[in-house]
Amino acid sequence: MAGTAAASSGAAMLCGKEEKVLGVQKAPGSCPYCGGGVAATDVEAKWVLCCLPLCRKTKRRFACTACARRLVTYPAILHD
């Protein structure tokens, strides 16, 4: 029984997405929901297929330090 659980978890790690946190720092601004501080987290995401890396991206994610909500940034709207 334990051998099957280990085999199934090993198969899950062969294909999928792996994320690694590179660093966390304080970001300017405040949370629009509760007014708490904002933390910026640098995350490296890597897609893996059968132990072969397919794609690697570095992203910056923002989250509130008080209510732990993930905050999304949108590009600026340019008017003509």
pLDDT mean across residues, the chain: 82
* Residue 3, H or E segment: helix 2-14
30 falls within a domain? yes
Domain count along the chain: 1
Nearest partner of 21 among 60, 66, 67, 68, judged by Cα: 60
24 falls within a domain? yes
Phi first, then psi: give them for residue 29, nearest 5 degrees. Answer: 100, -175
Mean predicted confidence (pLDDT) in 56-79: 88
5 falls within a domain? no
4 falls within a domain? no
What local confidence, expressed as pLDDT, does residue 80 receive? 59
pLDDT band, very low/low/confident/very high, at 73 (cuts 50, 70, 90):
confident
> Domain range spanning residue 52?
15-71
Q: 49: how many CB neighbours lie within 10 A of its CB? A: 11
Q: Is 33 helix (H, G, I), strand (E, B) or coil?
A: coil
What local confidence, expressed as pLDDT, does residue 62 receive? 95
59 falls within a domain? yes
pLDDT tens per residue, range 15-51: 788 889 999 999 999 999 999 999 999 999 988 888 7
More confident residue, 78 or 57: 57
9 falls within a domain? no
